[in-house]
Amino acid sequence: MLKELKLTINGQPYELSIHPRTLLVEVLREQLGLTGTKRGCNEGACGACTVVMNGKSVKSCSVLALSANGAEITTVEGLAKGAELHPLQKAFLDYGAYQCGFCTAGMLMSCKGLLNMFPNPTSDQIRDGIDGNICRCTGYNSIIRAVEAVSRGDYKETK
C-alpha cells in the first residue's frame, strides 16, 4: 500500500513511505512539519501552497507527492541562509509586501521561481508571475515594488 518517495527538501535528502494519494503539500506540512507552506483552496486556485520544484514554482496542492520523486524542492523555510534572510524576504519586510502573511510563503516562492526564470523581470512579467497567487490584504502593488527592488540589486544575496 505505501510507496517509497525520495525528495530533497531545502537541501536535505528525505526517504519517506507514503500513501499514493498523498499530495506534496501534505508531505511538507503534515509529515515533515514544514508548516510555512499554507493551503488556501486545495484546487490550485489561490497559490498559498506554492513551492519551488526543480527551479520552477509549482502549487504543491496540485502535485501528487509520488510524481515529485527525485525532485529538489525549496520551501519558504529554505529561503534564508542560516540567520541571513533572502533578498526577497528583506524586500518584503522593507516594502510591507505582506499583512496577514498567510499568502506570503507562496508569494515568496512564486517570486523566487519568477526570478529564477527572469532575473530582471519587467513589471508586467512580475504581475504575470504572481497572478496565480491571491493576496487578500496588500493589493499586490507592494509585492511588485519589492520584487523590482530585488531585481534592481538593492539587496545583495550572501553566497
Partner 1 sequence: MSEKYSVIGKNVHRVDGTEKVTGTAKYTFDIVLPNMLYGKILRSPYTSAKIVSIDTSKAEKMEGVYAVVTAKDTIHKKQGIWRRFPELCDEEILCSTKVRYIGDPVAAVAAIDEYTAEEALNLIEVEYEPLPAVYSQLEAIKEDAPQVHDGVELNINVTRHIEWGDVDEAFKECDVIREDHFVCSSQAHMCMETHCAAASYSYDGKLTVWASTQASYYTQVLLAGMLGMREGDIRVIKPPVGGGFGGKFELDSAQFCAALLSKKICRPVRIVLTREEEFTATKRRTPIVYTSRIGAKKDGTILAKEIRGITDGGAYTGMGATALYLTGFFSSFPYKYPNYRYDGYRAYTNTEPTSAMRGFGAPQAVFVGEQQIDLIAKDLGIDPIEIRRINGMVPNYEVPGQAFIQSCGLHQCLDKIDNYIKGRGKLPANRGIGVAAYGFMSGGIFNWFDTPYAFSSAIVKLSIDGKVDLFTGACDIGQGSDTTLSMITAEELGVKLSDIRIHAADTAICPADLGAWGSRETLMNGNACKMAAADAKRQIIEFAAAKMGVNIVHDLDIRDGWIYLADRPERKVSYYDIVREAIRGRDGETIIGRGHYTPHRKGMISPAYSFGVQAVEVDVDPETGKMKLINVVTAHESGTVINPIGITGQLEGAIMMAGGYALCEDQPMDQGKILNPSLADYKVIRSLDMPKTEIIEVDTYEPEGPFGAKEAGEGLTNPTAGAIANAVRNAVGVTITSLPITPEKIFMAMQEKKAKEKKAK
User: Which stretch, 32-40, 52-60, 113-121, 150-158, contacts partner 1 (CB under 8 A)?
Assistant: 32-40
Q: How many residues bind partner 1 (CB under 8 A)?
A: 54
DSSP of the chain? --EEEEEEETTEEEEEEE-TT-BHHHIIIIIS--TTS--SSSSSSS-TTEEEETTEEEEGGGSBGGGGTT-EEE-GGGTSBTTBPPHHHHHHHHHT--SS-TTHHHHHHHHHHHHHH-SS--HHHHHHHTTT---SSS-SHHHHHHHHHHHHT-SPPP-
Q: Pattern of binders to partner 1 over 119-148, x per CB under 8 A? A: -------xxx-xxxxxxxxxxxxxxx----
Q: Which C-beta is closer to partner 1: that of 6 or that of 123?
A: 123
Binding mask 54-93 for partner 1 (x = CB under 8 A): ---------------------xxx-xx----x---x--xx
Applying CB under 8 A, which of residues 35, 67, 69, 120 lies at the interface with partner 1?
35
Among 23, 27, 52, 98, binds partner 1 (CB under 8 A): 98
